[in-house]
Chain A
């Protein structure tokens, strides 16, 4: 993006576009340092980052799966037995 500060400073509008690369640990060291320097002075960007993290945590996680339906399990087992005899 056209960011005139690209090389020496990260400011808010540029920060929001770097948030995922930052969280993923994908930024080169110098860029990461600039991001962290910005987060120290900018509460709004810190808030933005926290909201991204809260969003990720709120997405329906594993462990809330319904069990495998009994008829599905039965159907899969019989398919497995068939597969085993046919190979």
Chain B
């Protein structure tokens, strides 16, 4: 469980007292990350903006009932996932959100993250050792910062299975801690790690193809 920090606590108290500056500060702090999450969940720019606005309105409506069992931040992110799910349901889109909290989905925990053919078989000299090892990337920071690579990364992220996409977006794009992500998505640490593992590995595979290809 993620507890509210002192700074957040001060903000929350001010907000409950109707302090406009506290609300503005919260919006400045979390609007961008919330919008990024909405986009990671497949919303277009304009829909993402609407979902975040609905999130803020939902937060205001729910503020008096907020019992601080999670931090203000994870509470906001969770409201966003609900808003996004409701919206998708209203629009009758086939959506990632239905599978959010319960159950898995195809690709979540089946199979290997690296093609088994890249390892030596039982009849090789060194079974289970690399047969086709990854080639080192020269200057990865420079190469992955290039516009084209950024596009590849974004595409790779948005084509991940939804639950992996969510976890990678929250952890690696939004920089949330594993405890926060578990809190938002209401999943276990172990489940979170599996999703993170598969998602990161899939994106690495795409980048490897891009760089080596």
Contact = CB atoms under 8 A, between A and B. Distances in A.
B128 A75 contact: no
Interface in A26-84: 26, 42, 44-45, 47-48, 50-52, 54-62, 65-69, 72-73, 75-77, 79-81, 83-84
Q: Is the interface of B mostly helix, strand, loop or mixed?
A: helix
Interface in B39-75: 49, 52-53, 56-57, 60-61, 64
B35 A51 contact: no
B140 A51 contact: yes
B203 A59 contact: yes
Q: Is the interface of A mostly helix, strand, loop or mixed?
A: helix
Contacts of A16: 112-114, 201
A22 to B, nearest CB: 10
B189 A79 contact: no
A27 to B, nearest CB: 10
A8 interface: no
B112 A76 contact: no
Contacts of A62: 32-33, 173-175
Interface in B133-161: 133-137, 140-141, 144-145, 149-150, 153-154, 157
Contacts of B136: 47, 50
A66 B18 contact: no
Nearest to A14: B128
A57 B130 CA distance: 25
B175 to A, nearest CB: 5
Contacts of B126: 11
B213 to A, nearest CB: 15
Interface stretch (B6-14, B22-30, B85-93): B22-30
Contacts of A84: 18, 20
Q: In which size bucket is the chain B interface?
A: 35 or more
Contacts of A68: 27-28, 31-32
Interface stretch (B76-84, B99-107, B192-200): B192-200
B112 A17 contact: yes
B153 A24 contact: no
A51 B141 CA distance: 10
A12 B175 contact: no
B200 A20 contact: yes
Given A21-B193, A65-B35, A81-B20, A13 B116 contact: yes
B36 interface: yes
A5 interface: yes
25 contacts: A1-B112, A13-B116, A16-B201, A17-B112, A17-B113, A20-B193, A26-B193, A44-B133, A47-B133, A47-B134, A48-B114, A52-B201, A54-B141, A56-B200, A58-B140, A58-B141, A58-B144, A58-B150, A59-B172, A62-B174, A65-B33, A72-B53, A73-B27, A76-B23, A77-B23
